[in-house]
Structures are given as structure tokens and as C-alpha cells.
Amino acid sequence: MQIKINFNAGPAALPPEVLHEAAKAVNKYKKTGLSILELPHRGKEFAEIIAESKQLVRELCGLDDNYEILWLHGGGRQQFFMIPMNFLPENGSAGYIDSGRWSEEALEYAAHYGDVQVLASSKKDNYRHLPTWPAKIPKNLAYVHFTTNNTIYGTQWKDVPESKGVPLIADMSSDIFSREHDYTKYSMFYAAVQKNLGTPGIALTAIRKDLLKKVARSLPPMLSYPAQVKEDSILNTANVFGIYVSLLMLRWIKAKGIATIEKDNNQKAQLLYSALDQSSVFTPYVTEKADRSMTNVCFTAKNAESEKAFLALCEENDIVGISGHRSAGGFRVSLYNAVDLESVRHLVRLMQEFESKER
């Protein structure tokens, strides 16, 4: 069977080497005589997996011992409510930057626990650009939350914005490890791992110790960051296989190097955006060039009929996962780390072939 070119937004493409290693471990994990699927979560081997994965996250993000690193259940959305549960007091306020559907969902979840202030929003323009970062940030906020890369609409904050001493929390689900980045500016960052870092259902989180001291209410241990830290992410039966796949991804990222990954990602994105900017059939969703995501490239075609025809052409040519999110429509091509330049070239050739017929 033909291997598909996978441009899905998540679960996303994984490198063939990682899939191969994961398959080997399913068969037999090292010299344990067990499959990784049978491996005890409180055994020595899994403790080694946790330790190496945390070490690699520290190394790749440049974090010192002031940060605690956790692998938690529940993907991205569980962080949407764990953050306010832990850090937003009932009579307190948190600031949210609303730059897309994920940011909006995060602030909706937070409103269950305390007051939420929307500090900036680009919702009225259907998130076609980033909102202007607020010039003033109230000092009394428990934290400011934002989304570094807006997966659905295809916008991205290129630098870490200034939060004026208020703890800054970033949802980095779709662009973690995609580029050089100053992670030490954050009091906390997190990522659902099914994009650049593995399989669904898990979140990688890094939290600075000063923020961990500010837990606002009594919580059941599963939902408490300090309780999870105390048990080193193994409070209950951990997702052993999923965390192992993330370790394989971290090793792959380290071997390739973030600088090389960033260079490749820029090349992929530039190839696609320049095809879109020159096109008479396709229109990029984000017009403000400085705001464009290097990871998720969104665009539309002339009309619904033309979109259907292009989708069919892609399917015939073994491309999957380019339909836009249900709230944005059109197309979305996700260029995660595991997607290679040749796949993007293949897509651009099809776009050009399609255009020459449509014109």
C-alpha cells in the first residue's frame, strides 16, 4: 500500500524512524522480555524513560532546576482547566489573549473558576491576524495566558511577548520545538503532544517553582500540579507507551537539532506561502505576513466547487489531511517537524497543475 503524505493538524505526521522504533518496542522492550505495552509504570525501565525525557526537555528548552517538568493525562484541554484550578483564586483575575478558537476555549474554561479579563482579541476579524498585544497589563492578575501558534487560523507570535512581571503562561501545542525560542520567559508552558511530540492524550508541561507555590485552592491530587510533581508524573498508571513515543521524538529532535529544524520549517513555509501569494486560484487566510504561522498554513480556493475539485486531486495523489478546521473552512496544511520539504514540493506542484486547468 502507498504511504500517504500526511498534512494533518493532529494527530500529526511522525518521522518514519520513530514509528519504526516504537513498533520494535511494541514487539519487545529492550531486554525485559515484555512489550512496552506491558511495561510496569513503577518499574526501573519506565523511571529511566521519565528521567531521560525530562532531561531532554530541559536541554532543548534551556531550563534549569527552577522548572518542574510533567507528563500529564488529558491532552491540551485538560490544561485549560488545570491552570485556573491551580492558579486562579476564586476572587482573583486572570488575563487571556484571544487569538483563536483554542485561546477562546481556554478562557471559557477559566471563567468557571474566577474572573477572566480578555486583554486583546482578534475575534471580530475571524482571527485573520493576531490581536495587538496589550500595552498595559494589570499588576493584580494571577497570570496572563496566550497561544503561541493558532493552529486553526494559522497565525503565530514570533517572539515571546512582554507580560510586565505578571506570570506568563503559553499554550505551545502546535509549535513547541519548531524553532529557537526563549522558554525561560514563561512561568509555565504546555503542549498537547500529538503535534510535534508524539501521540494523543498527553500534555507536556513545564512550570516554574515560584508559580507552583501559588496554588489557589485545595484540589484532588490528579488535578493538582504540586501533587503530580511529588509523584514525578506517576501518580496513577501513566501512559507508558505514549510517553515513550514522546521520548523517541525528543531524541529525534535533539539529533536533528532545533536550528536545522527551524531552517527546514522556514523553507517549507516559504515555499507554500510564496505559491499562495502568486496564485490566481488560492488565497491565503492570513493576509498580515508578519502574523503568518510557519506551522499551519490556511487558505481558500475560488469557490466551494473548486475546493472540492482540488481536494479530490490531492486525494488521488496520496495527500491526506488538508481540509481546514470546521470553524475556518478551506484548506489547512500543517508543516510539523516530521513533514519533509519534498512533501511540500509535491503539494505545490499539484496546486500549480490545478491552477493551469482552472484559469
Ligand X SMILES: *Cc1c(COP(=O)(O)O)cnc(C)c1O
| CB-closest chain residue to ligand X | 75
**Closer CB to ligand X, residue 151 or residue 163?**
151
**Smallest distance, Å, CB 125 to ligand X?**
19
How many CA within 13 A on the CB side of residue 240? 20
* Integer Cα distance of 280 and 282 in angstroms: 6
CB 174 within 8 A of CB 152: no
**Smallest distance, Å, CB 17 to ligand X?**
24
**Closer CB to ligand X, residue 29 or residue 153?**
153
**Smallest distance, Å, CB 113 to ligand X?**
18
**Closer CB to ligand X, residue 173 or residue 233?**
173
**Closer CB to ligand X, residue 118 or residue 313?**
118
CB 345 within 8 A of CB 271: yes
What does the DSSP assignment read for 188-212? Answer: EEEEETTTTSS-SSEEEEEEEHHHH
Strand partners, 155: 150, 292
For the annotated catalytic residues, the residue numbers are 102, 171, 195
Q: Among 2, 3, 7, which Cα is nearest to 325's? A: 7
**Closer CB to ligand X, residue 197 or residue 281?**
197
Of all helices (H) and strands (E), which one includes residue 52? helix 44-61
Cα 304 to Cα 315, 329, 347, distances in angstroms: 17, 10, 19
**Smallest distance, Å, CB 172 to ligand X?**
8
Q: Read off the C-alpha cell for 319.
A: 495527500
CB 291 within 8 A of CB 125: no
- Footprint on this chain of ligand X (rule: CB under 6 A): 10, 75-77, 102, 147, 151, 171, 173-174, 192
**Smallest distance, Å, CB 98 to ligand X?**
13
Phi, psi dihedral angles at 344 (to 5 degrees): -70, -40
* Integer Cα distance of 231 and 199 in angstroms: 22
**Smallest distance, Å, CB 176 to ligand X?**
10
**Closer CB to ligand X, residue 153 or residue 310?**
153
Q: Read off the C-alpha cell for 277.
A: 501569494
